[in-house]
């Protein structure tokens, strides 16, 4: 148990269930979506949640609610595909499997990545997303809208910038769209090291402390995987 917990840490992505020799492995989300049967992702969510709880983990960083329409993108196999309706139905099934129909399973699901992460220039990972607000809101946010209405507990902001503004420091994205328009009232967490990228990659902040302030002001609640930037702020 202790060894397994150390190996898993907080990874617990749940994409094909636990990434560990002792965990069950299922087809990727892309393959699950090809079945057109939401019962599959629901079962995967149930098994992932049960295995996570067995080692003391209560948050899964899944499902991916990204819409992916360019097969060159390296993470396309982690998504449920290109259609908002299919992504929404598969994602909802997984969430209900993880959290239970009444949200009482003892495990929470995380919808990611918010937003437009799978629509990057040249299909490059972490590259810029150049979509208008209408398409972002009506198409790419639709799976999140449905998941939030069904009780999604956490949302993970994405690495990419949206029209030149990094998602982790984008108040329109995380406050106006996610909180106000979509009605999300759960926790917003960063992707791993994304806040540090505000000063190391995007140069919108001069140092780690300013990056932390920028992200928290924009609407992020929790830095992952550690307090690399937020640890420098005054309590």
Residues 6 or more apart whose CB falls under 8 angstroms from that of 104 comprise none
Contact by Cβ (8 Å): 30, 75: no
Quick one: pLDDT at residue 21? 67
Burial of 160 (0-12, 13-18, 19+ CB in 10 A): buried
Residue tagged active-site, from 13, 66, 161, 191: 191
What is the pLDDT confidence band of residue 7, given thresholds at 50, 70 and 90? Answer: very low
pLDDT(8) > 80 = no
Quick one: pLDDT at residue 140? 98
Comparing C-alpha atoms, which of 29, 21, 59 is closest to residue 154? Answer: 59
Contact by Cβ (8 Å): 162, 136: yes
Question: How many residues would you count in the chain?
Answer: 235
What is the pLDDT confidence band of residue 14, given thresholds at 50, 70 and 90? Answer: low
What is the pLDDT confidence band of residue 11, given thresholds at 50, 70 and 90? Answer: very low
pLDDT in tens, 76-128: 999 999 999 999 999 999 999 999 999 999 999 999 999 999 999 888 888 89
pLDDT in tens, 114-171: 999 999 988 888 889 989 999 999 999 999 999 999 999 999 999 999 989 999 999 9
CB burial readout 200-234, b (16+ within 10 A) else e: eebebbeebbbbbbbbbebbbeebbeeeebbeeee
Q: CA 44, CA 35: separation in Å to the nearest integer?
A: 13
Region of 197 (left: φ > 0; alpha: ψ -120 to 50; beta: rest) is alpha
pLDDT in tens, 194-233: 999 999 999 999 999 999 999 999 999 999 999 999 998 9
What is the pLDDT confidence band of residue 12, given thresholds at 50, 70 and 90? Answer: low
Residue 39 is a catalytic residue: no
Q: CA 71, CA 10: separation in Å to the nearest integer?
A: 29
Q: CA 32, CA 38: separation in Å to the nearest integer?
A: 8
Strand ranges for the chain from DSSP E: 59-60, 108-114, 154-157, 161-162, 165-166, 187-189
> Which residue's entry shows tokens 């997303």?
129
């Amino acid at each position: 148990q202790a060894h397994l917990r150390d190996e898993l840490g907080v990874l617990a992505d749940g994409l094909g269930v636990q990434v560990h020799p002792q965990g069950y492995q299922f087809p990727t989300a892309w393959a699950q979506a090809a079945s057109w049967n939401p019962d599959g992702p629901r079962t995967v969510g149930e098994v992932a949640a049960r295995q996570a709880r067995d080692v003391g983990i209560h948050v899964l960083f899944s499902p991916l609610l990204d819409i992916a329409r360019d097969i060159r993108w390296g993470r396309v196999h982690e998504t449920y595909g290109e259609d908002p309706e299919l992504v929404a139905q598969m994602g909802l099934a997984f969430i209900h499997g993880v959290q239970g129909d009444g949200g009482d399973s003892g495990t929470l699901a995380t919808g990611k990545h918010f937003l437009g992460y799978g629509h990057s220039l040249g299909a490059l990972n972490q590259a810029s997303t150049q979509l208008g607000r209408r398409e972002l809101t009506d198409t790419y946010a639709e799976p999140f809208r449905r998941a939030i209405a069904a009780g999604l507990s956490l949302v993970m902001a994405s690495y990419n910038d949206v029209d030149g503004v990094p998602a982790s420091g984008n108040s329109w994205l995380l406050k106006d769209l996610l909180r106000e328009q979509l009605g999300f009232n759960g926790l917003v967490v960063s992707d791993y090291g994304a806040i540090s990228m505000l000063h190391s990659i995007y140069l919108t902040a001069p140092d780690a402390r300013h990056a932390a302030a920028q992200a928290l002001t924009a609407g992020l609640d929790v830095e992952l995987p550690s307090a690399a930037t937020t640890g420098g702020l005054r309590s």
